């Protein structure tokens, strides 16, 4: 029996029966179906990955049972001496990996981490600059339907019309004119590297905070496959899953001192690090998820290994290879390629919507998500693009050659999107293709 989350939950009792199967056969059945799906499909969703068996074991451990409101050495519940050691270990590993002065591992995910940044740095009504969703930004960077777009004044920046990359010259002009209190750099569907040093210059000229959202690229940063924003930004936020292969959670990195404290928080007696911590707890959250912190500590230990550096760099190599293979087949890509782990397939000139193509691909075992493209005229519920990512297939051990084959699968479906026979044939071929690779946390568990 392995140590995957499924294995940890469904461990056999002394009679050899699965505990989960005995207690809840229906959930056990669904778990096995999910395992089978992940063994036989190509996970190309840029925000998904495979956590290791060790991470899953820690996440599904008895740390689930512990309440630990507060921080190491300052808890509101007794019996947390071991939890203090665990959280302190995760914090130490996180600061070391990213070279950060301060860290917080308690946010429940990336969006709550970003919300804590707003609470720590701004007041309602302050101006916030961010990349809009159609250009690749995230909901929490000032989008209208999100708290960040309703509680704060949105000042979006955009892309260069020709390159579809961030127009830093216009960004600088906008920042000087609008004088926002916070500029976000980061995105959820932006396939190029961010110029953090230039963004820091612009933020300094505008006398504003600079925050980087690295939810997608944290693993690439650790692997030195993408620039590190920590030296340039006041605050850095991230999820703890995606490319860094941890559990579903979040973390925040920051400097200790606040260069703008006298401007924005004249009455505050706390430095930047303390304000970040107070924003997470007690302003926004209660007790942290200790089991998630345990899983993150394990993921950070794995991320410190030489093999992880190789893995992170291979993610980018695979993304570039997949991009080139699709370009060779006549497809359009936003920005014309990629610098990181993702690429955005621009299907605006094709007959179906992004959602329609994503649905056809899913039937063939190719799991993606539909996504807006710059200047998209279709509704966000259907879009004109598809986002593709390589972290998960890279975790399976695939390399550049496999990316060429994946591009061929995608082309077969998109060329004949309504041919059920083609979908069925590709679905079988994809399953056979995946069978040659291990799925971290799953492959050593035999299908029932």
Residue 15 has what DSSP assignment? Answer: T
Identify the pLDDT of residue 261. 59
Which candidate in 67, 108, 168, 270 is catalytic? 67
239: annotated active-site residue: yes
What domains does the chain contain, in order, with CATH numbers?
Answer: 62-303 (3.40.640.10), 307-434 (3.90.1150.10)
Which candidate in 154, 242, 320, 355 is catalytic? 242
Residue 251 has what DSSP assignment? Answer: E
Identify the pLDDT of residue 267. 52
Identify the pLDDT of residue 258. 85
Which candidate in 40, 59, 188, 239 is catalytic? 239
Identify the pLDDT of residue 3. 41
69: annotated active-site residue: yes
Q: Measuring CA to CA, which residue among 95, 96, 115 is closest to residue 105?
A: 95
CA distance 116 to 122: 10
Identify the pLDDT of residue 53. 96
CA distance 252 to 276: 8
Q: What strands, in cross-sheet order, belong to the sheet with 342-346?
A: 332-333, 342-346, 385-389, 369-371
SS3 content of the chain, % helix, strand, coil (to 5): 45, 15, 40
246 annotated to bind ligand: no
Mention every residue, 6+ apart, whose C-beta is less than 8 A from residue 201.
none
What would the two tokens of residue 94 be?
A: 């996180």
289 annotated to bind ligand: no
pLDDT per position as a tens digit, 179-203: 999 999 999 999 999 999 999 999 9
Identify the pLDDT of residue 268. 66
Sign of CA dihedral 399, 36, 219, 325: positive
What would the two tokens of residue 220 be?
A: 């690439």
Per-residue pLDDT of the chain (448 residues; tens, 9 = 90+): 344 444 444 555 544 458 999 999 999 999 999 999 999 999 999 999 999 999 999 999 999 999 999 999 999 999 999 999 999 999 999 999 999 999 999 999 999 999 999 999 999 999 999 999 999 999 999 999 999 999 999 999 999 999 999 999 999 999 999 999 999 999 999 999 999 999 999 999 999 999 999 999 999 999 999 999 999 999 999 999 999 999 999 999 999 988 775 455 545 678 999 999 999 999 999 999 999 999 999 999 999 999 999 999 999 999 999 999 999 999 999 999 999 999 999 999 999 999 999 999 999 999 999 999 999 999 999 999 999 999 999 999 999 999 999 999 999 999 999 999 999 999 999 999 999 999 999 975 544 3
pLDDT per position as a tens digit, 377-395: 999 999 999 999 999 999 9
Pairing of strands 235-239, 182-186: unpaired
213: annotated active-site residue: yes
7 annotated to bind ligand: no
Identify the pLDDT of residue 391. 98
């Amino acid at each position: 029996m392995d140590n995957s989350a499924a294995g940890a939950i469904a461990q056999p009792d002394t009679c050899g029966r699965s505990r989960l199967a005995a207690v809840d056969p229906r959930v056990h059945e669904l778990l096995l179906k999910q395992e089978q799906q992940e063994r036989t499909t190509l996970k190309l969703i840029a925000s998904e990955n495979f956590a290791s068996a060790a991470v899953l074991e820690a996440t599904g451990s008895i740390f689930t049972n512990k309440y630990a409101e507060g921080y190491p050495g300052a808890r509101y519940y007794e019996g947390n001496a071991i939890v203090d050691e665990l959280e302190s270990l995760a914090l130490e590993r996180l600061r070391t990996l990213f070279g950060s002065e301060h860290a917080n591992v308690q946010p429940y995910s990336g969006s709550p981490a970003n919300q804590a940044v707003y609470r720590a740095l701004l007041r309602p009504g302050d101006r916030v600059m961010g990349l809009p969703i159609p250009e690749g930004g995230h909901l929490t960077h000032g989008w209208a339907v999100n708290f960040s777009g309703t509680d704060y004044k949105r000042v979006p920046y955009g892309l260069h019309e020709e390159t579809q990359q961030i127009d830093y010259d216009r960004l600088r002009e906008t920042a000087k004119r609008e004088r926002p209190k916070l500029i976000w750099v980061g995105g959820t569907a932006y396939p190029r590297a961010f110029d953090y040093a230039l963004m820091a210059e612009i933020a300094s000229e505008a006398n504003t905070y600079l925050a980087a959202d690295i939810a997608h690229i944290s693993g690439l940063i650790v692997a030195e496959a993408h620039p590190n924003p920590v030296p340039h930004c006041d605050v850095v936020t991230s999820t703890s899953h995606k490319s860094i292969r941890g559990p579903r959670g979040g973390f925040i990195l920051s400097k200790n001192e606040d260069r703008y404290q006298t401007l924005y928080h004249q009455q505050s007696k706390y430095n930047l690090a303390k304000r970040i911590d107070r924003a997470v707890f007690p302003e926004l959250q209660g007790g942290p998820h200790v089991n998630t912190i345990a899983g993150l500590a394990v993921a950070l230990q794995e991320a410190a290994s030489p093999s992880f550096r190789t893995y992170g760099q291979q993610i980018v190599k695979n993304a570039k290879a997949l991009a080139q293979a699709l370009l060779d087949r006549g497809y359009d890509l936003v920005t014309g390629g990629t610098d990181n782990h993702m690429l955005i397939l621009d299907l605006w000139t094709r007959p179906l919507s992004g959602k329609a193509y994503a649905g056809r691909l899913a039937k063939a075992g190719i799991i993606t998500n539909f996504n807006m493209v710059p200047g998209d005229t279709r509704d966000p519920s259907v879009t004109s693009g598809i986002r593709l990512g390589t972290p998960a297939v890279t975790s399976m051990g695939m390399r550049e050659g496999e990316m060429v084959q994946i591009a061929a699968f995608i082309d077969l479906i998109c060329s004949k999107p309504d041919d059920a026979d083609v979908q069925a044939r590709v679905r079988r071929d994809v399953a056979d293709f995946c069978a040659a690779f291990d799925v971290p946390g799953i492959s050593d568990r035999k299908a029932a």
